[in-house]
Amino acid sequence: MSRLSRREALDKLVAETESADQFFEKPASQWRLALRRFRGRKSGMIGLFLISGLVLVAIFAPLIAPYDPNADLIGDEDVRRYQAPCVHLLGCPEDQPEHLMGIDGNVRDYFSRVVYGSRVSLTLGFFTVTLALFVGAGIGAVAGYLGGWFDNIVMRFMDVILGFPSLLLAIAIVAVLGPGLRNALIAIAIVTMPGYARVMRAQVLAIKESDYVSASRALGSSPGQILIRRVIPNAMTPLVVLATLGVATAILEAAGLSFLGLGAQPPLAEWGSMLATYRNQVFTAPHLVFYPGLAIMITVLGFNLMGDGMRDALDPSLNR
Amino acid sequence: MAENLVEMRDLVKQFPVKGGLLQREIATVNAVAGVDLDIPKGEAIGLVGESGCGKTTLGRMLVRLLEPTSGTIKFDGDDITHVKGSKLKPFRRRMQFIFQDPYGSLDPRTQVGDSIAEGLRLHGVDSKDERHQRVTKMLELVGLRGAHAGRYPHEFSGGQRQRIGIARALVLNPDLVVADEPVSALDVSVQAQVLNLLKDLQSELNLTLLFVAHNLGVVEHISDKVAVMYLGRIVEMTDRESLYRQPLHPYTEALLSAIPIPDPDRPKNRQILDGEIPSPLNPPAGCHFHPRCPIAQEGICDVDVPRLAAADDNGDHLAACHLRTGDHQHLNRKIYTD
């Protein structure tokens, strides 16, 4: 009797497990799992927090900035050039107008300029990386997939680009195209492209030999269909990480170009060029160098932390 | 006798070996060195041999995942040896491949339902509902549930993934399926399930099956006919019963004696082969098997390449051995009792 009931109990258990199974049909996709892992990492979340804050600042810049970033305040207010920050909370007399980051050499509110600078840096970082990612990854994917002489020629050309110190090459390209933010963007994209091409090519080389690509071929997919539907989606993971880290590099290089006068042109508020303009006033008006420098640091740090977090989250070895 | 779905004639696949500073071709490996093989419609042929004997290469060539170096493949009367691109696509629909490694053969970023539906999409089943229906039916046919279609490969076990691989291969209702060691990556208990599934589906759907394996026990279970391969050549080919009852080629004898028998009292007249399988880079002259063959005769086996020849009158039992079926049978005749 006990034997029978045990058997029945077992059957019941199996039946229950089967029906319980139905509740978990919702697929846990790779991205969902990755997101879950990303949430578990402090550094990545700090990075995400910093970047989200910056994005919000950039979007709501007109609401946050108390002044027009390009308007000089001569005649409107009683302020001097290079005037130190005046924060009421920190003991600045109430009768003076508040300037959180002081006044720059052209009598403009520096806080407003730093706030507006986030727009320039973020869009620049975003577009540079997007351009470099699409062109670089595209070249790498096609080179890796086709192989042969095309692969050789294209990748050797990428090696040539990689052979130059990147900022030097960017300067050379801007020198040819002419200074300006858009040309700086193009220059940085060209300089950072080989990294994406190389990573993509390596990924494609591994993936195109895999059985699921063979299976797709046996089903009758054309090479183009295989590249787009099978190879590229599976190759994207390390590129996403690289791109996130790349935003930091791009912002830094753009600041560098602007510092040299080849990027943003006055009066546009851009952190790199703001640094450059007041580098000689480091000792007389340190706030003019400190705040844009701090802004660049926070942005770069944020993207680096987020990139690290994403690298951990997307690591397939942590999948199971 | 049924008509042949596949006829392979003198099929050769060479792989270049590159080396040196300039990656020049320094040698070639003859992975498949002249194979003739017919597969009758609706039959299951087992292809056995050691690792590296070219059986997988042969299977991949047959479904045109690899380009043959020379020889011809005829599929249902059409020469498909060098058909390319869009002309190949209608044939793709009619022959499918089941992969050895169930972990590597499914795209990890694609829901398994979409993986299975890929073939339908490529071959003009445009309606999403119909694709969904056929995928569900296919999943149920291989012993999974239709609701599994929305899951990703990493949520399945090895055996389940192999079932998915089978579903993907069969959803187009192909005539020919090449199964490349479909169970060798699985647990023994799961092996039996997958084998039985394949066998049932084969008779149910009237599939022609080329079953590649290195395990004679597995092949015995599933195939009507068995071909034994050694170093790129077929050395023996016959129906299942005669192969296991009366192997002709010494290599087949050695293979069969290596099957473990779960009976400790039974005398072990194992025939252990000496040496390693020779490198296909530099195969022995004459019969490839002669350096390891217990009955090899000097001056015969190391000189001429034996051809596949019939041992019996109706020509069903073929073997490539000078001494058993060839011109020198008087030296080591094996009495054929049929």
Check which CATH number belongs to the domain holding A136 and give it: 1.10.3720.10
Residue A70 in domain: no
Q: How sure is the predictor about A60, in pLDDT bands with cuts at 50, 70 and 90? A: very high
Size of interface A-B (CB pairs under 8 A): 74
User: Does residue A15 register a pLDDT over 70?
Assistant: no
The residue behind tokens 């066998």 is B199
User: Does residue A248 register a pLDDT over 90?
Assistant: no
* Tens digits of residue pLDDT in B81-100: 888 888 898 899 999 999 99
Residue A65 in domain: no
Residue A72 in domain: no
Residue A90 in domain: no
Inform me whether the C-beta atom of residue A28 falls under 8 Å from chain B C-beta atoms.
yes
Residue A94 in domain: no
Residue A216 in domain: yes
Least confident range of A14-18, A34-38, A98-102, B286-290: A14-18
- Helix (H) or strand (E) holding A124, with range, is helix A110-146
Q: How sure is the predictor about A320, in pLDDT bands with cuts at 50, 70 and 90? A: very low
ipTM of the complex in this document: 0.85
pLDDT of residue A12: 66
Residues of B with CB under 8 A from a CB of A: 60, 63, 65, 85, 88-89, 92-93, 95-97, 99-101, 104-111, 115, 118-119, 122-123, 147, 150-152, 154-155, 165, 168, 172
* Tens digits of residue pLDDT in A179-202: 988 999 999 999 999 999 999 999
Instruction: Return the closest-CA partner of residue A222 out of B311, B136, B221, B84.
Output: B84
User: Does residue A71 register a pLDDT over 60?
Assistant: yes
Weakly modelled stretches of chain B, pLDDT under 50: 338
Range of the domain at A241: 110-318
pLDDT of residue A171: 92
* Count of beta carbons in the 10 Å neighbourhood of residue B72: 14
Q: How sure is the predictor about A30, in pLDDT bands with cuts at 50, 70 and 90? A: low
pLDDT of residue B188: 84
Residue A285 in domain: yes
The residue behind tokens 């660049």 is A296
Contact B178, B14 (CB under 8 A): no
Q: What is the mean pLDDT of chain A?
A: 85
Q: How sure is the predictor about A1, in pLDDT bands with cuts at 50, 70 and 90? A: very low
Inform me whether the C-beta atom of residue A18 falls under 8 Å from chain B C-beta atoms.
no
Contact B291, B41 (CB under 8 A): no
Inform me whether the C-beta atom of residue A148 falls under 8 Å from chain B C-beta atoms.
no
User: Does residue A57 register a pLDDT over 90?
Assistant: yes
pLDDT of residue A25: 47
Q: How sure is the predictor about A90, in pLDDT bands with cuts at 50, 70 and 90? A: confident
State how far the Cα of B151 lies from the Cα of A29, in Å rounded to an integer: 8
User: Does residue A210 register a pLDDT over 80?
Assistant: yes
State how far the Cα of B297 lies from the Cα of B303, in Å rounded to an integer: 10
pLDDT of residue A23: 45
Count up the domains in chain A and report the number.
1
Of B137 and A313, the one with more pLDDT: B137
Residue A81 in domain: no
Q: How sure is the predictor about A22, in pLDDT bands with cuts at 50, 70 and 90? A: very low
Of B270 and A62, the one with more pLDDT: A62
Q: Please tell me the total number of residues recorded for chain B in this structure.
A: 338
**From its phi and psi, is residue A293 left (phi > 0), alpha (psi between -120 and 50) or beta?**
alpha
Residues of B in contact with A319 (CB under 8 A): 154
